[in-house]
Amino acid sequence: MTEKSTLRPLAITQGDPAGIGPEIVAKAFRDAPELLRGCFAVGDLATLRRAAQCIVRPGQPELPVAQIDAPVQALDMPPRCLPVLPLPGLPGPVPWGQVSAQAGRAAAQCVVWAARAALRGEVAGLVTAPLHKESLHAAGVDYPGHTELLQAEAAAHAGVALADMPVRMMLASDELCTVLVSIHVSLRDALAAVTQGNLLQTLQITHEALSRSLGRAPRIAVAGLNPHAGEGGLFGREEIEVIAPAIAEGLRRGWTVVGPLPPDTVFMRARNAPGHPGEFDAVLSMYHDQGLIPMKYLGVDKGVNVTLGLPLVRTSPDHGTAFDIAGQGVADASSLIEAVRMARRLAL
């Protein structure tokens, strides 16, 4: 474990207070005390105290929840204690499992605060508990999710246009890693986003980000868009006219890129499993569900969402708010714990 003197505070946002975010944050501090040293939650104190209560089981001690006034104070907190930096104006506990503008606004405020703190260098990065997109919309937040909101904050901080702060979503686990060309758009719009420019930009962001984390050039596989990667043009010409030229340009720039490969087999080839080392470090997926279905099939407890292209470290668990089980204390914190582990590694 990194010595305290070299740790930097890591912010964890509470997520939508009506969902499982607050309780998995509490579970992470309880179950992974060494990893969570120097971390703190950003949110409402009463909401996180309610979450800490809902995870208590007979015979188990309660998780202390302590208020801090500055990120650096998290470095002095004892293990198995949840430090909370409360933000002014946040609502107290809201009803579990209900979409509301109040909850969406609170969740967004926590993300904005943590992003700005990271951009100012006050924290090493941020780990975001799940948002609910309907609650965000009800609150009038003009972004469909974390990625777009963080992109806007980073662009504003840098004083550049949104288009000049391109970002991509990467889902990563020990077994598989995929980067998405488009994120939260309709399938029709996602197909339209498969352009040579978008593909080349995604390849560049992926190559640069993974080169830093791996210490070498990554091996990138590019999935086709159509069944069988178009079957030589029989099932669509995007592979020939759009995807292959982007790959050729990536190769010309010296990147290690293979494809387009049939999307129904490329993830099996990339999967790193016992007795089967993956052939690739990442798969470039043409749209959201193409990449996320194989990731989530392997287990949402393993996947971590990483935003590539930002001038800050941001990770998140690979699941949603789970309104149906919120408040029952049964939510699995494994993916959040892995997101903290990934953020620590990226922030070094």
Model pLDDT for residues 176-225, shown as the tens digit of each residue: 999 999 988 899 999 999 999 999 999 999 999 999 888 999 999 999 99
DSSP H helices, 142-214, are 146-158, 187-192, 196-214
| Cβ atoms of 179 and 222 closer than 8 Å | no
Q: At 315, which helix (H) or strand (E)?
A: strand 314-317
* Average pLDDT of the residues in 275-288: 94
Domain assignment present for 303 = no
Considering its fold, how many domains does the chain have in total? 2
3-state secondary structure of 295: helix
79-91: per-residue pLDDT in tens? 999 999 999 999 9
Q: Which of these ranges, 40-49, 119-128, 293-302, 308-317, has the smallest mean pLDDT?
A: 293-302
Domain assignment present for 306 = no
Helix (H) and strand (E) counts in the chain: 12, 12
| Cβ atoms of 131 and 107 closer than 8 Å | yes
Neighbours of 153 (CB within 10 A): 21
Residue 152 has pLDDT above 90, yes or no: yes
The proportion of the chain whose per-residue pLDDT surpasses 90, expressed as a percent, equals 83
Domain assignment present for 147 = yes
Question: Residue 340 belongs to what domain range?
Answer: 1-166+311-348
| Cβ atoms of 285 and 179 closer than 8 Å | yes
Please indicate, yes or no, whether residues 219 and 162 belong to a single structural domain of this protein: no
Domain assignment present for 42 = yes
Beta-strand ranges (E) seen in 32-105 are 39-43, 65-67, 82-86
64-109: per-residue pLDDT in tens? 999 999 999 999 999 999 999 999 999 999 999 999 999 999 999 9
Please indicate, yes or no, whether residues 159 and 35 belong to a single structural domain of this protein: yes
The proportion of the chain whose per-residue pLDDT surpasses 70, expressed as a percent, equals 98
Please indicate, yes or no, whether residues 89 and 183 belong to a single structural domain of this protein: no
Please indicate, yes or no, whether residues 83 and 219 belong to a single structural domain of this protein: no
Domain assignment present for 210 = yes
Please indicate, yes or no, whether residues 240 and 285 belong to a single structural domain of this protein: yes
Domain assignment present for 85 = yes
Please indicate, yes or no, whether residues 294 and 208 belong to a single structural domain of this protein: yes
pLDDT of residue 300: 61
296-343: per-residue pLDDT in tens? 888 766 789 999 999 999 999 988 899 999 999 999 999 999 999 999
Query: Six-digit token pair at 203?
Result: 């390849």
Domain assignment present for 64 = yes
| Cβ atoms of 199 and 284 closer than 8 Å | yes
pLDDT of residue 347: 85
Single-letter amino acid, residue 70: A
pLDDT of residue 8: 86
pLDDT of residue 4: 46
Query: Six-digit token pair at 304?
Result: 């971590």
Neighbours of 205 (CB within 10 A): 17
| Cβ atoms of 321 and 20 closer than 8 Å | yes
